[in-house]
């Protein structure tokens, strides 16, 4: 069964009738459609919930959505779809990781497990130090260009955004990509809406599966972060021979890795593996 319900102005797409709910949150320059291959597979066993992040829809009002505003929207969605207040599984990618990790840190009691895709401790000192000068220049170049596109807006802003998305190999359909979805980069560069200085260090105390692509000019995690995450019982790290979008490039393998791992979190007692050492698994 497939249904759409509206909460806080957001269209929530729900597929499947499983007892466990997977909430899928995309990143840039994507929409809820990015998870099509996962929903087609997982809906037979799980209840799949997805939505387009505030401001990312082509018809969205062009505005800056603060960290608190986005996390609040995620909270509204999860509260609306949670069955009998049961914990949900988060499946996150790119900015979906940033916002989803922050949601978890503020609402630990709502999350059973986390599947993070390609974004780990992206803003940590360790990650920045591991990058060469050329890699640092590459990161700042694309982020500043997207910030500029948001500031310009209109047809020119859209053209710049779509050109950058094409350059980065983004799989999203061109007509769904626009400068209105660049506000996170504008916040990063211009410090608007409180910037992201209030992001909490991500310390997962629930089982976590981390999947990332290795064919990229730079990584969004540090090796030390990978080691700390993998050291916790129940967690798993899986590299893919893909770019930033492993769930799109290798959907069959991605889905199998996720489905093989998912029974493990539900079988693990909530208290198991929690210790002071877990606090070291942070963004830095």
Concatenated DSSP letters for 96-157? HHHHHHHHHHH-GGGEEEEEEES-SSTTSHHHHHHS-HHHHHHHHHHHHHHHHHHHH-HHHH
Concatenated DSSP letters for 179-222? GGGGHHHHHHHH-GGGTTTTPPP----S-EEEEEES-SSS-SS-
How far are the Cα atoms of 48, 142, 215, 220, 258 from residue 136, in angstroms, in the given order?
36, 10, 17, 12, 31
Given this model, what pLDDT does residue 130 score? 78
Given this model, what pLDDT does residue 278 score? 44
pLDDT in tens, 96-143: 999 999 999 999 999 999 999 999 887 777 877 878 888 888 888 999
Given this model, what pLDDT does residue 198 score? 82
- CA 9 from chain centre, in angstroms, equals 20
Given this model, what pLDDT does residue 148 score? 96
Given this model, what pLDDT does residue 276 score? 40
Given this model, what pLDDT does residue 74 score? 98
pTM of the predicted structure, to 2 decimals: 0.91
Place of tokens 């050291």: 231
How far are the Cα atoms of 75, 101, 106, 172, 200 from residue 237, in angstroms, in the given order?
27, 17, 24, 26, 22
Structure tokens at 202: 């991500």
Q: What is the CATH number of domain 2-132+198-280?
A: 3.40.50.1820
Given this model, what pLDDT does residue 275 score? 43
Given this model, what pLDDT does residue 192 score? 62
Which residues of the chain carry a pLDDT beneath 50?
Answer: 271-284
Given this model, what pLDDT does residue 189 score? 84
d(CA 19, CA 198): 34
pLDDT in tens, 60-104: 888 999 999 999 999 999 999 987 779 999 999 999 999 999 999
Given this model, what pLDDT does residue 5 score? 94
Given this model, what pLDDT does residue 267 score? 62
Place of tokens 């310009």: 152
Query: For the chain, what are the domain ranges?
Result: 2-132+198-280
């Amino acid at each position: 069964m497939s249904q759409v319900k509206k909460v806080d102005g957001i269209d929530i797409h729900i597929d499947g009738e499983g007892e466990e709910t997977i909430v899928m949150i995309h990143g840039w320059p994507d929409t809820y459609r990015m998870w099509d291959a996962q929903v087609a597979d997982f809906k037979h066993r799980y209840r799949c919930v997805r939505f387009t992040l505030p401001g990312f829809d082509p018809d969205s009002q062009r505005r800056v959505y603060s960290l608190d505003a986005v996390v609040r929207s995620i909270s509204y969605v999860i509260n609306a779809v949670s069955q009998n207040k049961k914990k949900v599984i988060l499946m996150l990618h790119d900015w979906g990781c940033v916002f989803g990790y922050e949601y978890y840190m503020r609402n630990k009691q709502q999350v059973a497990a986390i599947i993070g895709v390609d974004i780990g401790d992206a803003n940590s000192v360790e990650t920045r130090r591991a990058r060469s000068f050329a890699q640092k220049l590459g990161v700042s170049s694309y982020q500043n260009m997207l910030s500029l596109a948001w500031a310009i807006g209109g047809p020119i802003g859209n053209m710049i955004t779509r050109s950058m998305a094409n350059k980065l190999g983004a799989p999203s359909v061109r007509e769904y990509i626009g400068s209105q979805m660049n506000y996170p980069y504008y916040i990063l560069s211009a410090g608007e809406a409180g910037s992201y200085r209030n992001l909490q260090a991500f310390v997962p105390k629930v089982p976590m599966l981390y999947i990332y692509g290795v064919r990229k000019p730079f990584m969004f995690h540090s090796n030390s972060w990978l080691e700390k995450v993998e050291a916790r019982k129940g967690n798993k790290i899986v590299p893919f021979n893909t770019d930033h979008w492993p769930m799109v490039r290798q959907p069959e393998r991605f889905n199998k890795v996720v489905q093989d791992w998912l029974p493990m979190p539900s079988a693990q007692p909530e208290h198991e593996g929690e210790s002071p050492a877990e606090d070291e698994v942070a963004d830095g």
